[in-house]
Amino acid sequence: MSPAYSLAVDAMGGDQAPDVVVQGLDIAAERHPGARFLLVGDEAKLAPLLVRHPRAAALCTVRHAPDAISGDMKPTAALRLRGASMRVAIDAVAAGEASGVVSAGNTGALLALAKIVIKTLPGIDRPAMAAIGPSARGDVVLLDLGANVVCDTRNLVEFAVMGDIFARTVLGLTAPSIGLLNVGSEELKGSDKLRLAAETLRASHLGPQFHGFVEGHDIAAGTTDVVVTDGFTGNVALKTGEGALKLMSQMLREVFSASLAAKLGYLLVRPGLERLREWLDPRRYNGAVMLGLGGVVVKSHGGTDAQGFAHAVDVAMDMVVHRFNDGIRDGLGRLAALAPVPGAAGDGTAAPNGAGLGTTGNGSGNGPADNAGPEPGSANGGSRLAAAR
Paired with 131 in beta bridges are 142
What are the pLDDT digits (tens) for 54-67? 999 999 999 999 89
What DSSP element (H or E) covers 289? strand 288-291
Helix (H, G, I), strand (E, B) or coil at 117: helix
Given a cut of 50, whether residue 383 has pLDDT beyond it is no
Torsion over CA: 33, 34, 38, 44 (sign):
positive
pLDDT at position 119 is 92
Given a cut of 80, whether residue 180 has pLDDT beyond it is yes
What are the pLDDT digits (tens) for 285-328? 666 889 999 999 999 988 889 999 999 999 999 899 999 999 99
320 exposed, middle or buried (CB, 10 Å; 0-12, 13-18, 19+)?
A: buried
What gap in Å lies between CA 210 and CA 106, rounded to an integer? Answer: 35
Asked whether the beta carbons of 45 and 138 are under 8 A apart, the reply is no
Asked whether the beta carbons of 381 and 301 are under 8 A apart, the reply is yes
What are the pLDDT digits (tens) for 192-221? 999 999 999 999 999 999 999 999 999 989
281 exposed, middle or buried (CB, 10 Å; 0-12, 13-18, 19+)?
A: middle
Tell me the whole-structure pTM to 2 decimals. 0.79
Domains located in the chain, CATH noted: 7-125+287-326 (3.40.718.10), 128-282+328-335 (3.40.718.10)
What are the pLDDT digits (tens) for 88-132? 999 999 999 999 999 999 988 998 999 999 999 998 989 999 988
pLDDT at position 151 is 92
What gap in Å lies between CA 319 and CA 124, rounded to an integer? Answer: 18
Find the mean pLDDT for residues 34-51: 95
User: Which of these ranges, 33-37, 148-152, 337-341, 352-356, has the smallest mean pLDDT?
Assistant: 352-356
Asked whether the beta carbons of 135 and 280 are under 8 A apart, the reply is no
In sequence order, which ranges of the chain are alpha helices (DSSP H)? 19-31, 43-52, 54-59, 75-78, 85-94, 107-113, 153-166, 192-203, 216-221, 231-256, 260-279, 306-321, 324-335
What gap in Å lies between CA 288 and CA 143, rounded to an integer? Answer: 10
pLDDT at position 135 is 86
Given a cut of 70, whether residue 351 has pLDDT beyond it is no
Which residues fall within 8 angstroms of residue 388, CB to CB, at 6 or more apart? 284, 311, 314
CA distances from 262 to 250, 252, 366 (A): 15, 11, 55
What gap in Å lies between CA 60 and CA 300, rounded to an integer? Answer: 19
pLDDT at position 209 is 95
